[in-house]
Structure 1
Amino acid sequence: MARAGITLEGLTRAAADLADEVGFEHLTVSAVARRLGVKDPSLYAHIGSAHELKVRVALLALAELADRAAEALAGRAGKEALGAFANAYRDYAHAHPGRYAATRFDLDPETALASAAPRHSELSRSLLRGYDLPEPAQTDAIRFLGAALHGYITLELTGAFSHTQRPTASSWNWTLDALHTALSGTSGG
């Protein structure tokens, strides 16, 4: 029986908030139970395992990030759309590092298809329409875009750029300019 006052949505949000504080990789049922002031078994009335808890946080994060990216893209095209889209991801990652890490969590194929994950691909394709890329170049560009953005953001969040004085925002802008140039010069091949 579920404990009064705890809902699955509340549990998921508490877990996501905790992941932002301690890191997604350190998220445990015990830590969430302590956060909520209950014993671990109280949470198992809502979730079946620690893995399920992480899946729920991943699903929440994917949906939140897709909403932000869609809002950023609205009414924009080309370089302006690229910058808005990329900044939505980067801003989300800085505001919610644990949730951002959760967006990279390995979901089973059925769960992934039912999540907001396909929406991220659709948003990327929407962005790339401004670059007029035919297939298979469009699929390659989606992978390139994801690798560049997620790679940069992950390195930045882990402090990998802290060894130089150049602000990471300057390098981020340079990266976006380089992406725009690459996407603009890409042909169908």
Structure 2
Amino acid sequence: MPNAPLSPAAVVAAAARLADAAGYDAVTVSAVARELGVRPASMYSHVRDRDALLAGVHRLALGELAERIADQVAGRSGHDALAGLALAHRRYAADRPGAWTALQRPAADETAASPEAARVASLLAAVIRGYAVPDGATVDAVRLVGATIAGFVALTDAQAFAHRPDAVDGSWAAAVDALDRALASWPQEGPAA
């Protein structure tokens, strides 16, 4: 069966699948070429180099995550939207571990300015707007939520909680509840100088 024609999107999708199956660090132009059954040289008409390939995976992951967030927060606000946002991240990390890893790496300037990144940012900000967080503190609140979710997922993946018999899901729910309380009681004035 002949190979399907290559395109930048097909190359990036193959790289994301490889990242999920073999780990983010396994993604190279040569490895993706092997996955696609083509010579590495033929890849360079679709992707500039490994950095561009990984940036493509990052952007693809942002787009996929945005879809999941949108589905989970649609029609919700406050705690329900926050729980949906957190669940979208947690499920994405479980379903797409290599793509999730891409999201934990610094974004290339082009990726950070992409429509996919803008959509994720606007969805996060919309959830935060469901609380009485002052506009000037939105970035801080988004960082708190993101760091809590990413940290919990990373510690779970590293088996850091495995030594305790308690269910991790209970701790996850407690973390979301704590974030909800933190956002609901956010100070209305800036920090003291």
Q: TM-score, normalised by structure 1?
A: 0.92
- In 1, the alpha carbon distance for the partners of 2:55 and 2:20 equals 15
Cα deviation for residue 164 of structure 1 reads 1.7
CA distance in 2: counterparts of 1:4 and 1:22, whole angstroms? 23
Asked whether 1:101 is paired with 2:98, we answer no
User: What is the letter of the counterpart of residue 67 of structure 2?
Assistant: D
Q: 1-side partners of 2:112 and 2:143: how far apart?
A: 17
Partner of 2:42: 42
TM superposition shift of 1:137 = 2.6
Alignment of 1:11-160 (within 5 A): 11-160=11-160
Is the Cα contact below 8 Å between 2:132 and 2:186 reproduced in 1?
no
Contact 2:16 2:98 in 1 (8 A): yes
Cα deviation, 1:70-127, whole Å, max 9, x if unaligned, reads 1211100111111111000100110001001111232233431124222222111110
Asked if 1:9 corresponds to 2:31, the answer is no
Please report the TM-score for the alignment, with normalisation by the length of structure 2: 0.90
| Residues 144-185 of structure 1, C-alpha deviations (whole Å, 9 max, x = no match) | 111111111122122222222222211111111111111111
Secondary structure (helix, strand or coil) at the match of 1:116 reads helix
Partner Cα separation in structure 2 for residue 156 and residue 59 of structure 1: 24
Gaps (5+ residues) in structure 2?
none
Q: Distance in 1 between matches of 2:181 and 2:12?
A: 40
Aligned CA RMSD, in angstroms, stands at: 1.6
Contact (CA 8 Å) 2:82, 2:176: kept in 1 or not?
yes
Secondary structure of residue in 2 paired with 1:165:
coil
Partners of 2:152 and 2:21 in 1: CA distance: 21
Distance, in Å, in 2 between the alignment partners of 1:26 and 1:188 is 46
Residues 78 and 130 of structure 1 are in contact (CA less than 8 Å); yes or no, is this contact kept in structure 2?
yes
- Which ranges of 4 or more aligned residues in structure 1 deviate by more than 3 Å? none
**Number of equivalences:** 187
Aligned 8 A contact 1:133 1:187 in 2: yes
Identify unmatched segments of 5+ residues in structure 1: none
Instruction: Output the CA distance in 2 between the equivalents of 1:29 and 1:47.
Output: 8
Describe the SS at the equivalent of 2:21.
helix
Q: Tell which deviates more after alignment, 173-182 or 129-138.
A: 129-138
Does the 8 Å CA contact 1:83/1:176 hold for their aligned counterparts?
yes
Deviation of 1:4 after TM superposition, in Å, equals 6.4
Deviation at 1:25, TM superposition (A): 2.2
